[in-house]
Structure 1
Amino acid sequence: MTVVKFIIIGSGNIASAYFSAITNIGQAEVVGIVSSKTIKPKPLNNLPFFKSLKDVKIDFDAIVVCTPNGLHHVSTIEAATLKKHVLCEKPIDISLESIDKMIKACKVNNVKLGVAYQRRFSSDNPVVKNLIDENKIGKIFSVDLAVKNYRDQAYYDSADYRGKYKIDGGGPFIQQACHYIDLYYWFFGKPTNLVSKLGTFVHNIEVEDHGAVICVHDSGMIGTITASTATKPGFPAKMEIYTSKGYIILENDVITQWGIEGMANPSIKINQPETNKHTGASNAFVNDTTNHETVIKDFIQAIELDTNPLVTGESAKNATEIILDIYKSQF
């Protein structure tokens, strides 16, 4: 079994989560960190630190991009030119131009580009995806997605880029809710039209901290998306799906209510609700790396078998496109 050697780019909270996830996988290891920070988080203390990717003189196979959103393209393109594979933290980036450059660089240099939208692997989400793809739950006419998180002002004050468009790219739609907007796309495709209303209500920031969107799809389906970092104390992410045969309600990726005619609840987590587990609703720390481990295993398999990871750059681009449309379509 080949051990894939990773360099993590960035040394914030999410870098520590990736270090833990990779350490838990037998066929992977972290061999170094690239960061401009002088203070090292405790889990990363014993690893070699480098100021830039070009300074790395040890052997490695791939990078994990854990820099702020709008800088993802920088490390991705640099790694691709070095013929190294790239696993990028969400969102893939904040502009379509940068995303296209990332995808092109990885293709030209024949390296893998995967994106950590791990909700696609989480709990009952693959089950629901299969039911939708196999047209087993009837015609979907309504979907309501609510990602109602809370972040205090200290979160936004913790770094100069937070709460600003230039690097963060926006507020909760592109930061906290992008996981579920990717899931919305994965389930239902991109809306053909949408209209949004966003505002800043409880924080001193440049970007939105709360907003709502109405989406219309070619199928006639009407969707709503609410995203927030203003809703105390933070609530489980919730998706309600209504069809000609009934309804499905998911909370934190678990089917908590099931009402599809003639079909038993197919939840793999039935009688094991996870809605009280920490999922980022009230703070940014990642305590459970199970889904990250699944993403990394999938990415390693793509490298070894020369296949595509589940979430490619092209696929991840769709979530950013929807989010950018949300920002453009305010009334």
Structure 2
Amino acid sequence: MSKKIKFIIIGSGNIATTYLSAITNITNAQVVGIVSSKTNKPETLSSLPFFKSLSDINIDFDAVIICTPNGLHHVSAIEAASLGKHVLCEKPIDITLKSIDKMINSCKENNVKLAVAYQRRYSSDNPIVKKLIDENKLGKIFSVDLSIKNYRDDDYYNSSAYRGTYNIDGGGPFIQQASHYIDLYYWYFGKPVKLVSQLGTFVHDIEVEDHGAAICVHDNGMIATITASTATKPGFPAKMELYTSKGYLILENDVITHWDIEGVENPTTVKSTKNTHTGAATASVSDTTNHETVLNNFIEAINNNAELLVTGESARNATEIILDIYKNQF
């Protein structure tokens, strides 16, 4: 029988509540405390012990779930690793390659697991498309258009001082809302060998972009576009269009909605997307299925040394692509 893993959640925002809900559906997992600097406990977490820092914790625990702002992920990961605790980190893994490498090295040196919650890789039809790409069933892919056109109102950016900043958020929608899909893009196609971008701030009073686009070129000649936004009202489901020598397919919110690939039947497993979370207009998540997948895998890795779905090294690639988008503007 697998050991029940005791978790400390670091951070007390919306995503912490998501993990707490997910863990209630997992028999061999338990949240035993919260680390938060907030003076007022969120009602959804108020039944748990609160601690100001990891060093203040006086109860037994096995692992942490990092739900702090992007640019602080490495701080908690390195401290947890030094205490011999396993680390599950929210996306993106962090906002600089230097910080990410410190996280990865610290977890290796202390022989603890480091997993990252890029659960879109295992959502709905996404893993099916990955398998078809790897098996070369789709033909030569020459064009990809990835669009993450969300909307966030001023209240979202005003809700915390770090939102819409470079030093903590790391940027705007590319590193925040689009991070999941840029990871998916990397998982499918690898990193581009060349890219150029244009970013702007059009709707919000923030220091980072709220809309932008990149053109990417891959070593096999594939040309792709990536658009990310929090300025596009009212917000739209993320969409990825693939055009190949055998036809085309379109994924919307991880589900195949259009399919015409010569010689291959539409493999979609989803009959309805009526109740799926798109993230288009809100960051709140009610369906925790994908988070449960990540957590179950993480627990299996701790207990039985199973292969992690998304390692720190793999998650690093998404941040590298995003940083290249920020760096290579016209």
Matches within 5 A, 1:75-154: 75-154=76-155
What residue ranges of structure 2 are gaps of 5+ in the alignment? none
The CA deviation string for residues 88-107 of structure 1, in whole angstroms up to 9 with x for no partner, is 00000000000000000000
**Counterparts of 1:209 and 1:145 in 2: how far apart (Å)?**
16
Aligned-partner Cα distance in 2 for 1:275–1:182: 25
Contact (CA 8 Å) 1:195, 1:330: kept in 2 or not? yes
Deviation at 1:42, TM superposition (A): 1.7
Q: Is contact 2:214-2:227 (8 Å) kept? A: yes
- What is the DSSP-based 3-state SS (H/G/I as helix, E as strand, rest coil) of the residue aligned with 1:259? strand
The list of structure 1 runs, each at least 4 consecutive aligned residues, that deviate by more than 6 angstroms after superposition, is none
RMSD: 0.8
- The percent of aligned pairs where both chains have the same amino acid is 75
What is the CA deviation profile of residues 102-133 of structure 1, one whole-angstrom value per residue up to 9, with x for unaligned ones?
Answer: 00000000000000001011000000000001
Q: 1:103 to 1:17 in 2, by over 3 A?
A: same
8 Å contact from structure 1 (residues 254, 275) kept in 2? no
Verify: 1:330 aligned to 2:329, yes or no.
yes
Q: Partners in 2 of 1:132 and 1:145 — Cα distance?
A: 16
Residue 271 (structure 2) pairs with residue 284 (structure 1): no
1:64-75 mapped onto 2 (5 Å cutoff): 64-75=65-76
Q: Are the structure 2 counterparts of residues 275 and 188 from structure 1 closer, same or farther at C-alpha, using a change threshold of 3 Å?
A: farther
Q: 2:291 aligns to what SS in structure 1?
A: helix
Looking at structure 2, the residues matched to 279 and 287 of structure 1 have their Cα atoms a distance apart, in angstroms, of 11
* TM-score (norm. length: structure 2): 0.98
Matched, 1:165 2:163: no
Distance in 1 separating the partners of 2:166 and 2:30: 34
Identify if the C-alpha distance between structure 1 residues 22 and 256 changes in structure 2 by more than 3 Å, giving closer, same or farther: same
Q: How many residues align?
A: 329
Letter in 1 for 2:322: I
TM-score by length of 1: 0.98
Structure 1: stretches of 5+ with no match in the other structure: none
Matches within 5 A, 1:157-236: 157-236=158-237
Amino acid at match of 1:310: L
Q: Secondary structure at the match of 2:261?
A: coil
1:117-156 C-alpha deviation (Å, 9 max, x unpaired): 0101100000000000111110100000000000001100
Deviation at 1:275, TM superposition (A): 6.1
1:59 is paired with a residue whose SS is coil
Residue of structure 2 in register with 1:261 after alignment: 262
Q: How many Å separate the matches in 1 of 2:111 and 2:315?
A: 18
Q: Which amino acid aligns with 2:86?
A: H
Separation in 1 of the partners of 2:195 and 2:49? Answer: 47
The letter of the residue matching 1:136 is K
Whether the aligned pair in 1 keeps the contact of 2:12 and 2:35 (CA below 8 Å) is yes
2:42 paired residue number? 41
Task: Judge which range, 235-244 or 299-308, deviates more.
Answer: 299-308
Please give the alpha-carbon distance, in whole angstroms, between the structure 1 residues aligned to 2:275 and 2:173: 21
